[in-house]
């Protein structure tokens, strides 16, 4: 694998509160040793309490951002997040053949319940799912893509991951964060279907978990030899960011996860920080 610093692109919406969207993606990429770049698909008016407005960028201007960027820089990996409209989903789809290591987070609805994708954009997102190298739907997004009820247990998670493969996806990480217990996701590709258990963190500060996970996978895919290795390491990073979310104390609603938990040595609250200080003092 190339030892140069990887250049990783996010094509996503903006979250002014800094916990989701391109802001979360760029923080994640920086925290994981990648040089982050962004093409913005939509502005949201949003805080930790919810979304009050969405303003989609015209599709031709998203094309201009991508044409200008890609004429100069070849990303080592790309994460695609909020697409807002069918027109934007189709426009971004035009670039997938030219991009490597593509991760699509088919963002539809924020945790607050606010819509981030037009209702008539589902077919365009389905088309995109078949072109990305990995898709990372949550329970509700998988159910919407498949036209089924959301999975309620691990068996159904595995089944829906395999149904998404059968529908054309190349690799699927079906996220189980919305199940009542645990934090088990399911990874599936043509060779295997693997449950990925995770420690459940008891915090209300979960804003941006999906964005953080998909951008971490992209950042790490550029630095790992396989998708499954990137997915496992990204999940470990996200669990740490959730474990340290409460010491950020941002906003009055669902606050962000702590993207820089391993990098800020002067914040004594964090367990990762403490571990690092212990290691440094021998």
Ligand X SMILES: Cc1ncc(COP(=O)(O)OP(=O)(O)O)c(N)n1
Applying CB under 6 A, which residues contact ligand X?
Answer: 12-15, 20-21, 44, 46, 81-82, 107, 110-111, 116, 206-211
> Interface with ligand ADP includes 175 (CB under 6 A)?
yes
- Provide the minimum distance between the beta carbon of 257 and ligand ADP in the complex, in angstroms, as a whole number: 9
CA 12-164-238 angle, 5° bins: 50
Partner touching 177 among ligand ADP, ligand X, none, CB below 5 to 8 Å by kind = ligand ADP
Residue ranges in 179-238 that form contacts with ligand ADP under rule CB under 6 A: 183, 185, 198, 200-201, 206, 209-210, 213, 235, 238
| Residue number with the smallest Cβ distance to ligand ADP | 210
**From 48, 85, 102, 206, the catalytic residue:** 206
Q: What does the chain come to in residues?
A: 282
209 catalytically annotated: yes
192 catalytically annotated: no
27 catalytically annotated: no
- Provide the minimum distance between the beta carbon of 157 and ligand ADP in the complex, in angstroms, as a whole number: 10
End-to-end CA distance of the chain: 32
Q: Which of 126, 154, 157 is nearest to 140 (CA)?
A: 157
182 catalytically annotated: no
Partner touching 13 among ligand ADP, ligand X, none, CB below 5 to 8 Å by kind = ligand X
208 catalytically annotated: yes
- Provide the minimum distance between the beta carbon of 210 and ligand ADP in the complex, in angstroms, as a whole number: 2
Residue ranges in 227-256 that form contacts with ligand ADP under rule CB under 6 A: 235, 238-239, 242
Partner touching 129 among ligand X, ligand ADP, none, CB below 5 to 8 Å by kind = none
> Interface with ligand ADP includes 117 (CB under 6 A)?
no
> Interface with ligand ADP includes 106 (CB under 6 A)?
no
Query: Rounded CA gap, 139 and 41, in Å?
Result: 24
Partner touching 102 among ligand X, ligand ADP, none, CB below 5 to 8 Å by kind = none
- Provide the minimum distance between the beta carbon of 109 and ligand ADP in the complex, in angstroms, as a whole number: 8
């Amino acid at each position: 694998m190339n030892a140069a610093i990887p250049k990783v692109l996010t094509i996503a919406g903006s979250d002014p509160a800094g916990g989701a969207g391109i802001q979360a993606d760029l923080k994640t990429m920086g925290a994981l040793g990648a040089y982050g770049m962004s093409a913005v698909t939509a502005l949201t008016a949003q805080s930790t309490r919810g979304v009050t407005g969405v303003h989609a960028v015209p599709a031709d201007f998203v094309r201009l951002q991508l044409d200008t960027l890609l004429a100069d820089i070849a990303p080592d990996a790309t994460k695609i997040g909020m697409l807002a409209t069918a027109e934007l989903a189709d426009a971004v789809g035009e670039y997938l053949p030219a991009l490597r290591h593509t991760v699509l987070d088919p963002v539809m609805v924020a945790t607050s319940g606010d819509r981030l994708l037009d209702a008539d954009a589902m077919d365009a997102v389905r088309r995109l799912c078949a072109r990305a190298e990995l898709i990372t739907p949550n329970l509700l997004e998988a159910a919407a893509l498949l036209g089924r009820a959301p999975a309620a247990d691990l068996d159904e998670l595995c089944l829906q991951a395999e149904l998404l493969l059968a529908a054309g996806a190349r690799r699927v990480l079906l996220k189980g964060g919305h199940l009542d217990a645990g934090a088990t996701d399911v990874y599936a590709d043509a060779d295997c279907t693997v449950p990925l258990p995770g420690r459940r963190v008891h915090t209300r500060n979960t804003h941006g978990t999906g964005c953080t996970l998909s951008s971490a996978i992209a950042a790490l895919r550029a630095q790992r030899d396989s998708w499954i290795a990137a997915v496992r390491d990204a999940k470990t990073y996200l669990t740490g960011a959730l474990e340290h979310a409460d010491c950020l104390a941002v906003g009055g609603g669902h606050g962000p996860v702590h993207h820089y938990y391993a990098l800020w040595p002067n914040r004594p609250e964090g367990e990762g920080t403490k571990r690092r200080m212990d290691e440094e003092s021998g």
